[in-house]
């Protein structure tokens, strides 16, 4: 009996001296949706009024949405400003996820983005999926990309098929371990996410945005993208340049194509763009998908 009492006392003293595992804060969500707005959408006081608001509004109570703030300036083919803005978005998204992940060990994450925000969200998802991200891949349970400038033909597309890839070129190496949870949506005619494979001018313009604020860690990917452009678009693109009439050179044709695209409104069409036989629109589909994952 004396020996047993001594053991109980020792166990009690050991428990007093040993810190107990800290419980997760009460405000930790079961699912955190990290939303990255599109070009110019963060210039407003409240980015939740942009395209992604139609995805995040009305999600279940177990979900908390965090909107990432960054410059979000410039078009994919406007060069330097876009590159710097996109890098800022990637860094801010990493920080948002890392802070919450460190505080809330059981929280799962979803990444969504529109336009330039899809570029950012997709790049961060690719880092996580290849083991170089701020959280392990199994904590990222959904990635939804609207008009991703780095869309790959290999990405899981929701909606009708579209030609080519994103204006900035596909991510060499893709999404790795998180590929099964990635969904991308691209409206027909949206030059941000659908540039034909043999469109030399469009693909070079998109590639230039990636080099406007280069990341030294991405140099192998830049080389792979350039090789892809040269292999797939150089000959047909050069033939198109040579065959263009003198009074309507290919540069003017490309300029008209861009102007027609900008005035068409197709890039802003996702709240009305139907992606399935039930008449579900792109933003509604993403909303329903996230709601199902949260249950």
CATH code for the domain of 80: 3.40.50.1820
The yes-or-no verdict on residue 282 having pLDDT over 90 is yes
- Give the pLDDT confidence score for residue 101 in this predicted structure: 97
Q: What is the mean pLDDT of residues 73-95?
A: 75
Beta bridge partners of 113: 36, 145
State which H helix or E strand residue 263 sits in.
Answer: helix 250-264
- For residue 1, tell me if it sits in a domain: no
Residue 208 domain-assigned (yes or no): yes
In a domain, 185, yes or no: yes
> For the chain, how many structural domains are there in total?
1
Average pLDDT of the residues of the chain: 78
The four Cα atoms 59, 64, 70, 71 give a dihedral, to 10 degrees, of 30
Residue 288 belongs to some domain of the structure: yes
Q: What is the pTM of this model?
A: 0.75
Higher-pLDDT residue of 124, 244: 124
- Residue 287 is assigned to a structural domain of this protein: yes
- Top pLDDT among 274 and 243 is at 274
Q: Calculate the dihedral angle through the C-alpha atoms of 81, 84, 88, 94, rounding to the nearest 10 degrees.
A: 130
Backbone angles phi, psi at 281, to 5 degrees: -85, 165
Band (151; pLDDT cuts 50, 70, 90): very high
Quick check: is 6 in a domain? no
Q: Would residue 19 count as lying in a domain?
A: no
Nearest to 168 by CA among 273, 255, 86, 250: 86
The answer as to whether 8 is a domain residue is no
User: Regarding predicted confidence, which is higher, 84 or 109?
Assistant: 109
- Summarised one tens digit per residue, pLDDT across range 196-217 is 765 545 554 545 555 545 556 5
pLDDT given at position 60: 96
pLDDT computed for residue 8 by the predictor:
42
State pLDDT tens for residues 213-230.
Answer: 555 655 565 556 555 554
pLDDT of 14 above 70? no
Residue 247's pLDDT is what? 56
Residue range of the domain that includes 261: 27-294
- Cα dist. 155→152, 193, 203, 229, 290 in Å? 5, 12, 18, 18, 18
> Is 224:152 a contact under the CB 8 Å cutoff?
no
Q: Which residues contact 290 (CB under 8 A, 6 or more apart)?
A: 31, 33, 55, 56, 59, 63, 110, 112, 142, 144
Is 90's pLDDT higher than 70? yes
């Amino acid at each position: 009996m004396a020996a047993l009492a001594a053991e109980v006392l020792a166990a009690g003293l050991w428990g007093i001296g040993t810190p107990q595992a800290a419980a997760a804060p009460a405000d930790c969500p079961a699912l955190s949706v990290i939303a990255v707005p599109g070009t110019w959408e963060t210039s407003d006081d409240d980015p939740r009024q942009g395209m992604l608001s139609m995805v995040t509004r009305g999600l279940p109570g177990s979900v908390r949405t965090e909107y990432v703030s960054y410059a979000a300036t410039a078009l994919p083919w406007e060069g330097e400003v876009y590159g710097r803005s996109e890098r800022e978005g990637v860094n801010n998204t990493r920080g948002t996820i890392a802070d919450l992940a460190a505080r809330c060990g059981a929280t799962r994450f979803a990444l969504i983005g529109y336009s330039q925000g899809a570029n950012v969200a997709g790049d961060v998802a690719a880092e996580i999926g290849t083991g170089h991200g701020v959280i392990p891949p199994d904590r990222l349970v959904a990635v939804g990309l609207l008009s991703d400038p780095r869309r790959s033909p290999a990405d899981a597309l929701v909606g009708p098929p579209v030609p080519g890839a994103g204006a900035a070129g596909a991510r060499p190496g893709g999404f790795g371990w998180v590929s099964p949870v990635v969904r991308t949506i691209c409206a027909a005619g949206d030059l941000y996410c659908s540039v034909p494979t043999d469109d030399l001018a469009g693909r070079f313009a998109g590639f230039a945005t990636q080099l406007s604020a280069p990341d030294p860690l991405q140099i192998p990917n830049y080389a792979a993208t350039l090789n892809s452009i040269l292999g797939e678009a150089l000959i047909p693109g050069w033939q198109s340049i040579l065959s263009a009439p003198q009074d309507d050179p290919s540069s003017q044709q490309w300029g008209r194509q861009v102007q027609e695209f900008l005035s068409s409104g197709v890039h802003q069409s996702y709240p009305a763009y139907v992606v399935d036989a039930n008449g579900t629109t792109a933003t509604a589909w993403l909303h329903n998908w996230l709601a199902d994952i949260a249950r």
